[in-house]
Amino acid sequence: MKLLFIASEVDGLVKTGGLADVAYALPKALQEMGHDVRIVMPAYRQIQDLWQEWPAQSLDCKLSFFNTVTVHCRRGSHESLPVIAVEHPASFDRPGIYDDGNFAYPDNALRFGILSKAALDWCQQEGWVPDIVHGNDWQSALTGFYLAEHFGQDPFFEKTRSVLSIHNGAYQMHCDAGWLAQLGIDQRFYRPADFEDSGHLNLLKGSLGFADGVTTVSPGYASELITPMGGHGLDHKYRALPEPLVGILNGCDYDQWNPETDPWIAAKYATIEEDGKAKCKQSLQKELNLEPNPDTPLLGSICRLVDQKGIHLMIPVILKLMQSHDCQFVMLGSGDENLANQLTYIQRQYPHRFHFFNGYDIGLSHRIEAGLDAFLMPSVFEPCGLNQIYSLRYGTLPLVREVGGLQDTVVRLSQSQRNLKTATGFMFQELTEEALLAETERLLDVYKNKPSQWRSMQHNAMQQRFSWKKSATAYERFYRRLLKSAPNQHPLLTRMATEAEATG
């Protein structure tokens, strides 16, 4: 199949979150299966050194009748994956990817609208007919809309089907309806059934009605998105999809996340019996200026500092742990300044037992995964989550909330503890500080008082494999199903086509 993958970030080039991991690993796995995959992404300033060496081709990106934007498509590759970087300095030559450090760029809808449309225009210019165009999150959701609306009658794309993957349904891009015209979204689609959302334009909401197929990154999250509680206000849209929403669990890139080969960590290890993991813990304690005690349980977390990650639960629990338990805690993250200040405050109080690294540091994230005893992920919601999967591979037991992809990837130690042969971590349900604290205390009890149980859970955890090949095979099956079926017939588009025919 010819697969065009459109993404706003790609691991190894530009990354702010899990979307980047998928946008690299999934195309790679599909390519390894023999498909012709190409990635379209913005030519950001941050990777200029790379793409400025690539040959450029001028392209007129026709967003609307009166808004044609000239871009340059730079063709190169990233680790054997063909990449088309869309160069449009007014949009992508900026200090940030999505924001200026404080505020989202006000023209984000247009910036990524250009990306979404240029991907299709590039195919036409090249004469390369994709079987599937695969958009990801709101940033490239419009590709499916443009395919259906702008190119609906174009024989070039007659056989092409569009897929939209939801990596985080909370981010939808609400913006002023004034952008409609520049984006080439006909006013008729600005209605509650499509792009209109409480007086604003909602790009994800509207785009959901045009994709031929919609997927998300875990079965658990798929079942949440169709509920009023878990659908981020769009549950009715997910329920109304012509092809039911499919949850395909993300894989893990074990080329990067493997304690046997990881170049970032202090000592490599293949099993928990070797002293590698203990050395990693010792080295992490030293690096972060924590008391060098091998028996003190070392817990931690790595995440964007946003409400979604349950930091507001973690902060009071960390304080209680510091006050009344013998343990250490490491936190790596950046984001919300208020949350960062609270974490900095705890560090000042307990400098040798709590460490907060305010920033984004890939090497440190690997050393934390290897050095911790347990990894906390008390997310409010979690589409898939990657760090709990990495943790399993490093024999670092995850403690997660029973939501989304977390419940699909961690096997909780039951209350009776009879499932020791399969348990890989700890899980709690209620979104309260008390519930998180109770499960953390349970974890600490197993760590301190039942070392053989802890060890057997580490064994189970390290044997888990979430292969991208398996995920890619599921996507491949989904693509083939779409290719065999008729395109999604948006009712308004059908009516508009009939009216146009009637008026000649």
Here the tokens at position 172 are 């939808």
Residue type at 99 in one-letter notation: D
Cα(280)–Cα(362) distance, rounded to whole angstroms? 16
| Total of residues contacting ligand ADP (CB under 6 A) | 18
Tell me the closest approach of the beta carbon of residue 251 to ligand ADP, in angstroms. Answer: 12
Residue 50: which residues within 8 A CB-CB, separation 6 or more?
13, 76, 78
Backbone phi, then psi, for 163, in 5-degree steps? -120, 140
**In 3-state terms, what secondary structure has residue 306?**
coil
Q: Contact with ligand ADP (CB under 6 A): which of 386, 400, 472, 493?
A: 386
Q: In terms of CB distance, is 384 or 399 closer to ligand ADP?
A: 384
User: Which stretch in 90-98, 230-238, 355-363, 461-469 sits in contact with ligand ADP by CB under 6 A?
Assistant: 355-363
CB of 100 closer than 8 Å to CB of 106:
no
Q: Contact with ligand ADP (CB under 6 A): which of 190, 350, 360, 478?
A: 360
Tell me the closest approach of the beta carbon of residue 65 to ligand ADP, in angstroms. Answer: 37
39 forms beta bridges with 5, 83
Q: Contact with ligand ADP (CB under 6 A): which of 4, 6, 14, 18?
A: 18
Between vectors from CA 233 to CA 142 and to CA 106, what angle results, nearest 5°? 50
User: Which stretch in 17-25, 174-182, 207-215, 454-462 sits in contact with ligand ADP by CB under 6 A?
Assistant: 17-25
β pairing state of 298-305 and 246-247? unpaired
Q: Note whether 264 binds ligand ADP by CB under 6 A.
A: no
Q: In terms of CB distance, is 149 or 382 closer to ligand ADP?
A: 382
Does the annotation list 286 as a binding residue?
A: no
Tell me the closest approach of the beta carbon of residue 201 to ligand ADP, in angstroms. Answer: 24
Helices (H) and strands (E) in the chain, counts: 19, 18
Residue that has been written with the tokens 């994230």 in this structure: 365
Q: Note whether 304 binds ligand ADP by CB under 6 A.
A: yes
75 forms beta bridges with 84
Q: In terms of CB distance, is 10 or 183 closer to ligand ADP?
A: 10
| Distance set, CA 172 to CA 133, 143, 234, 439 (Å) | 20, 15, 10, 33
Tell me the closest approach of the beta carbon of residue 23 to ligand ADP, in angstroms. Answer: 11
Q: Note whether 332 binds ligand ADP by CB under 6 A.
A: yes
Q: Note whether 17 binds ligand ADP by CB under 6 A.
A: yes
Q: Note whether 361 binds ligand ADP by CB under 6 A.
A: yes
Cα(368)–Cα(157) distance, rounded to whole angstroms? 47
**Interface with ligand ADP by CB under 6 A: which residues?**
17-18, 21, 168, 302-304, 332-334, 360-362, 365, 384-387
User: Which residue positions form the known binding site for ADP-alpha-D-glucose?
Assistant: 15
